[in-house]
């Protein structure tokens, strides 16, 4: 009741509103807007084909369901190397991620002023790995000491500073 | 702590060779099968002799993170109280020999306890406490502090300013991959601590609960046992037998959770349950569209 009074009070506005509604496409997405099913002989003939040969053109466009294995090659232009390390060689082991990458990351804190290098997915003797990695980082800093933190329970090592490339290259050279 | 973690690290199992890689193991198993079939049944005549069940793992689809850490488990019988090894199953290391992340197991247990909890503690605010609508004494001139109502939080018997308000939900969703990792860590822990058994199926010969009690006592399974099958419908006999035993519980594989696995001392899975869990967990660990599992929690999504 209030709506109709509003419409008559502002005829120009109501005309504009009706024009707006008519220019928008009608929505057929609700139950009451869809037609009732008619007898099937009124619809055109349909041939059901199982496993159509054309389906392969659709399949090759779909993304893979699981992360694929990388193709073995001599060398990769990106610098990626497959894992060659055996867990029984050394007292520690660093597992690759699901996407076959080395698990070394950069965390930034305090609005980018503090940079931390994180090595994750460490198994085995994490203290031995920490000693080896700290030696690598300190040689990259020309002998200056580097602060580090070991979280033994979750298998993570944190280094102060941005040494992601240094540690990634080192781990790749070790075969991890 | 270090000793515990070093014991559970995935190296130095020199005697274990992967069944699927080693053809001589399969060949020797076949020879032993022939020997079993040809020899007279020395066991009791009720139990029929069948060839040993060797179930190797197919690593083609999901390559393990650490190829050296293949695990194997005996497949045990359920048709008699006395333990008899019916075969051997090879377990995928990513599910059963994962790094046991104790911190993630703790987070899972905490989440399972808290997300359903609704706190019904309730206190009344100054608006809800009976009385206190009138200014107790005039603003000025009494020598007393100024007050607007006798039920303000400052007063004895007044409302509580920031008290609990019932009902308060404590719902939150743990990130998806923490829950997946919780399951793999707990399964690995159970296997590493000898609390994990695989049975062929859940068929037992009688409805008698004494059979189950004797079985648990004979095989030295823990005080509490969790039996997991693939589907939620279990055979009649085991349902009747375990109905009145509070410490033996049946569970379908889709209900498997960290809390139940830690609450029960022994975890017993059927072969179907092991295969199903491996397939589902390995898919989640290797799926391409993992980013979809992040984001806001939706009711129809895991």
Residue B11: the pLDDT is 37
Q: What is the mean pLDDT of residues B93-99?
A: 92
Residue B81: the pLDDT is 95
Residue with tokens 């850490």, as numbered in its chain: B69
Length of chain B: 302
- Structure confidence at residue B42 as a pLDDT band (50, 70, 90): very low
Whether chain B has a CB inside 8 Å of the CB on A93: the answer is: yes
Topology of domain A94-173 in CATH is Translation Initiation Factor Eif1 (3.30.780)
Integer angstrom CA distances of residue A11 from A5, A19, A20, B1: 10, 12, 14, 81
Q: How far is B181 from chain A (nearest CA, A)?
A: 12
For B119-152, what is each residue's pLDDT tens digit?
Answer: 999 999 999 999 999 999 999 998 999 999 999 9
Nearest to A121 by CA among A109, A133, A103: A103
Contact indicator for B234, B226 with CB cutoff of 8 Å? no
A95 with B65: Cβ contact below 8 A? yes
Whether chain B has a CB inside 8 Å of the CB on A97: the answer is: no
- Structure confidence at residue A65 as a pLDDT band (50, 70, 90): very high
Residue with tokens 């059927």, as numbered in its chain: B270
- Distance CA(B107)–CA(B112), nearest Å, equals 9
Q: What is the mean pLDDT of residues B212-220?
A: 96
Which residue in chain A has the smallest CA separation from B287? A66
Q: Which residues of B touch A93 (CB under 8 A)?
A: 9-11, 66
Range of lowest pLDDT (A5-9, B6-10, B155-159): B6-10
Q: Which residues of B touch A63 (CB under 8 A)?
A: 288-289
- Distance CA(B88)–CA(B103), nearest Å, equals 32
Q: What is the mean pLDDT of residues A135-151?
A: 95
Residue B20: the pLDDT is 59
- Structure confidence at residue B8 as a pLDDT band (50, 70, 90): very low
* Token pair listed for A1: 């009741």
* Token pair listed for B70: 């293949």
- Distance CA(B201)–CA(B75), nearest Å, equals 10
Q: What is the mean pLDDT of residues B85-109?
A: 94
DSSP A122-137: EEE-HHHHHHHHHHHH
Q: ipTM, 2 decimals?
A: 0.72
The residue with greater pLDDT, B95 or B295, is: B95
Q: Which residues of A touch B286 (CB under 8 A)?
A: 66-67, 98
- As a whole number of Å, the end-to-end CA separation of chain A is 75
* Token pair listed for B118: 């609704």
Nearest to A146 by CA among A108, A117, A112, A105: A117
Tell whether the model's pLDDT for residue B33 goes beyond 70.
Answer: no
Whether chain B has a CB inside 8 Å of the CB on A103: the answer is: no
- Distance CA(A151)–CA(A158), nearest Å, equals 8
List A148's β-bridge partners, or say none.
Answer: A159
B68 with A87: Cβ contact below 8 A? yes
Residue with tokens 């076959």, as numbered in its chain: A100
Q: How far is A103 from chain B (nearest CA, A)?
A: 13
Q: What is the mean pLDDT of residues A56-82?
A: 93
Residue B221: the pLDDT is 95
A66 with B1: Cβ contact below 8 A? no
Q: What is the mean pLDDT of residues B225-241?
A: 96
Tell me the domain boundaries of chain B: 44-111+172-290, 119-169
Integer angstrom CA distances of residue A20 from A12, A24, B24, B76: 12, 7, 79, 73
Q: How far is B105 from chain A (nearest CA, A)?
A: 11
Tell whether the model's pLDDT for residue B210 goes beyond 50.
Answer: yes
A87 with B66: Cβ contact below 8 A? yes
For B23-32, what is each residue's pLDDT tens digit?
Answer: 555 555 555 5
Q: How far is B286 from chain A (nearest CA, A)?
A: 5
- Distance CA(B239)–CA(B78), nearest Å, equals 14
Q: Which residues of B touch A96 (CB under 8 A)?
A: 65
B287 with A95: Cβ contact below 8 A? no
Percent of chain B whose pLDDT exceeds 70? 83
Tell whether the model's pLDDT for residue B72 goes beyond 50.
Answer: yes
Phi, psi of A42 (to 5 degrees): -80, -15
B288 with A66: Cβ contact below 8 A? yes
* Token pair listed for B207: 């409805």
Could you give the angle at which helices B176-192 and B271-286 cross, rounded to 10 degrees?
Answer: 140
Range of lowest pLDDT (A27-31, A57-61, A160-164): A27-31
B10 with A63: Cβ contact below 8 A? no
The residue with greater pLDDT, A95 or B66, is: A95
Q: How far is A167 from chain B (nearest CA, A)?
A: 20
Tell whether the model's pLDDT for residue B5 goes beyond 80.
Answer: no
Which residue in chain A has the smallest CA separation from B285? A98
The class (CATH top level) of B44-111+172-290 is alpha beta
Tell whether the model's pLDDT for residue B163 goes beyond 90.
Answer: yes
Percent of chain A whose pLDDT exceeds 90? 68
Residue B298: the pLDDT is 76
- Structure confidence at residue A132 as a pLDDT band (50, 70, 90): very high
Q: Which residues contact B164 (CB under 8 A, 6 or more apart)?
A: B119, B121, B122, B123
A66 with B290: Cβ contact below 8 A? no
CA B294 from centre of chain: 22
Give the pTM.
0.79
Phi, psi of B144 (to 5 degrees): -100, 170
Sheet harboring B248-252: ordered strands across?
B53-55, B85-91, B71-76, B196-199, B266-270, B225-229, B248-252
Q: What is the mean pLDDT of chain B?
A: 86
Tell whether the model's pLDDT for residue A13 goes beyond 80.
Answer: no
């Amino acid at each position: 009741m209030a709506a109709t009074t509003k419409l008559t009070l502002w005829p120009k506005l109501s005309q504009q509103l009706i024009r707006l509604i008519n220019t928008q496409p009608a929505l057929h997405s609700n139950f009451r807007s869809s037609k009732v099913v008619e007898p099937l002989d009124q619809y055109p003939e349909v041939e059901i084909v199982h496993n159509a040969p054309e389906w392969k053109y659709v399949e090759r466009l779909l993304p893979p369901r699981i992360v694929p294995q990388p193709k073995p090659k001599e060398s990769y232009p990106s610098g990626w190397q497959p894992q060659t390390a055996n867990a029984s060689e050394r007292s520690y082991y660093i597992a690759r991620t699901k996407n076959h990458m080395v698990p070394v990351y950069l965390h930034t804190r305090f609005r980018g002023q503090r940079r931390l290098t994180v090595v994750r997915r460490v198994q085995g003797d994490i203290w031995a790995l920490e000693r080896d990695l700290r030696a690598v980082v300190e040689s990259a800093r020309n002998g200056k000491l580097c602060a580090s933190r070991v979280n033994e329970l979750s298998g993570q090592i944190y280094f102060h500073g941005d040494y992601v490339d240094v540690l990634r290259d080192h781990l790749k050279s070790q075969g991890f | 702590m270090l000793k515990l973690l070093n014991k559970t690290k995935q190296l130095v199992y020199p005697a274990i060779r992967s069944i699927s890689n080693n053809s001589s193991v399969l060949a020797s198993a076949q020879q032993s099968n022939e020997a079993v079939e040809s020899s007279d049944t020395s066991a009791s005549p009720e139990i029929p002799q069948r060839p040993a069940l060797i179930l190797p793992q197919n690593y083609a689809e999901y390559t393990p993170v650490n190829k050296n850490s293949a695990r194997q488990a005996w497949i045990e019988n359920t048709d008699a109280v006395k333990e008899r090894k019916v075969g051997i199953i090879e377990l995928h290391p990513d599910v059963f020999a994962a790094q046991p992340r104790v911190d993630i197991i703790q987070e899972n247990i905490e989440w399972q306890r808290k997300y359903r909890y609704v706190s019904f503690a309730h206190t009344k605010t100054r608006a809800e406490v009976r009385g206190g609508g009138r200014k107790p004494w005039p603003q000025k001139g009494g020598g007393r502090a100024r007050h607007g109502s006798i039920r303000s939080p400052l007063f004895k018997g007044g409302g509580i300013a920031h008290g609990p308000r019932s009902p308060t939900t404590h719902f939150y969703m743990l990130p998806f991959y923490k829950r997946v990792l919780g399951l793999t860590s707990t399964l690995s822990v159970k296997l590493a601590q000898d609390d994990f058994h695989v049975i062929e199926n859940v068929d037992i010969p009688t409805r008698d609960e004494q059979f189950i009690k004797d079985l648990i006592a004979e095989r030295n399974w823990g005080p509490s046992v969790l039996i997991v099958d693939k589907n939620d419908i279990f055979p009649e006999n085991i349902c009747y037998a375990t109905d009145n035993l509070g410490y033996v519980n049946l569970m379908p594989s889709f209900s498997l959770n960290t809390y139940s696995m830690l609450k029960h001392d022994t975890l017993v899975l059927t072969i179907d349950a092991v295969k199903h869990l491996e397939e589902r967990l390995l898919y989640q660990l290797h799926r391409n569209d993992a980013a979809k599992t992040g984001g806001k929690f939706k009711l129809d999504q895991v």
